[in-house]
Amino acid sequence: MKIASFNINGIRARIATLLRWLSETKPDVVILQEIKSTDETFPKNEIEQLGYNIQTHGQKSFNGVAILSLFSIEDLKTGLDGDPEDLQARWIEAEINTLRICGLYLPNGNPCPGPKFDYKIEWMNRFYQRAVDIINSEQPTVILGDFNVIPQREDAADPELWTNDALYCYETRSQFRKLINLGFTDALRALHPTEKVFTFWDYQKGSWQKNNGIRIDHILLSPQASDRLKSCQIDSYMRGEDRPSDHAPIWIELNTDH
């Protein structure tokens, strides 16, 4: 079973790019982030023609997450508990083929310090509480998306550039480490522990051409899912395509003979 995450950076601007990638790579489940569209304006028809079921948690012009699945999508939930006033569309989860699959678009948090960083940490605290519940459920679970977290020095081409950034500052990395310490596995680092690989290259300053990237898109596996992990790769070539997102897809393959 192939499960992917892709920050599409505007679904309507990049629908052709997405359709081409879906047709070529044929993932079973995809979590999209930054769809930047309402549920009503999401281009479902084109994607459904490829055989995907679709659920969206959209927001006009900003944020937004979606699930595309070749399997049925059951028990859909959107948003994190703990702050009824938070209307930003950043979390979606469902049960798919016996797996709990959770997609997220974690707040960027810049400038740091400041109100946006405070919101990031508050959101991560609510995310942590949901992660505790997931671990306690013992259901095989995949949490994936744009975490806006650079976990360690190896995850940036030039870590010194990010020292005071909300993606890499100590408090952000500590919050991410708390998630790992619950028992989740960082799928890419489980299989590629020291490889310098990235999922994001800024549009500015020739970042793609210089491979001046960072790894901020992650796939975390509960213990029951990590036992099934076969592979984890980044489709970095997508960043060099016409009209690319500034992110590349990351995906895993899980054994399903459990």
The CA distance from 145 to 216, in Å, is 9
Catalytically annotated residue among 81, 86, 118, 146: 146
* CB within 8 Å of 164: residues ≥ 6 apart: 112
Helical packing angle, 170-181 and 115-137, nearest 10°: 10
Catalytically annotated residue among 28, 105, 168, 217: 105
226-230 LR contacts (CB < 8 Å, sep 24+): 226/184, 226/185, 226/187, 226/190, 227/258, 228/140, 228/254, 228/255, 228/256, 228/258, 229/185, 229/187, 229/190, 229/191, 229/253, 229/254, 229/255, 230/254, 230/255
In single-letter form, the type of residue at position 236 comes to S
The CA distance from 11 to 56, in Å, is 12
Q: Answer yes or no: 105 catalytic.
A: yes
Residues 245 and 9 sit within 8 Å (Cβ to Cβ) = yes
Q: Answer yes or no: 237 catalytic.
A: no
Nearest 10 degrees: Cα torsion 227, 92, 89, 184: -20
- Residue 200 gets which letter from DSSP? B
Catalytic annotation, residues: 105, 146
